Amino acid sequence: MSINQTEWIFLDGEWKRWQDATVHVTTHALHYGSAAFEGIRAYETETGPAIFRLGDHVRRLLQSCKVLRMPMAEYDQKRLEQVCVESIGRNDLRSGYIRPLVFRGAAGLGLNPLPAPVQVCVFAVEWGRYLGAEAIEQGVDAIVSSWRRFNAGTAVPLGKISGQYVTSQFVSLEARENGFGEGIMLDERGMVCEGAGENLFVVFGDT
């Protein structure tokens, strides 16, 4: 789904114009997926934009960084929350989607991530419903994917880590190639687990 460009992006302690917020092609995260991210919604209200569960999202981001052994001394909970809020205000958004991203930058090649610097980026954009404008009212056709959700012995489900989303891309592609709006993954036991890009909830009765 395409997004409209906004004006300001936070990158490594500075607010930069959209076109100036760039990284080098040798960036470690680009080659090896060494990054953590969050997707945070801000909704329009009568008193201004309201960010949904910002504190919980930032805590999970910091936990993911801990899993990846990316030190975040300069960016604690309060600082990251502040930047997320500012990303909405600076771009004059009444509602939007906030993407904080922490990644390993450029420092040569090789799987050892520790020599690569930790970089922090936050941007905010207008972005509609993930599965389409009518998804909530009309529902979405979904397929049970042939791809399985990885287990804790092969990856790290405790972290929202960029490199692990290749499987979700396969699920999404498979669904669309077969005429469906989304794919649902089973876990290694064959139990319903999650969608390619969302959690699953079951509603019983009217509650």
160 an active-site residue?
yes
Query: Do 164 and 33 touch, CB atoms closer than 8 A?
Result: yes
Annotated active-site residue in 16, 66, 78, 160: 160
Catalytic residue IDs: 160
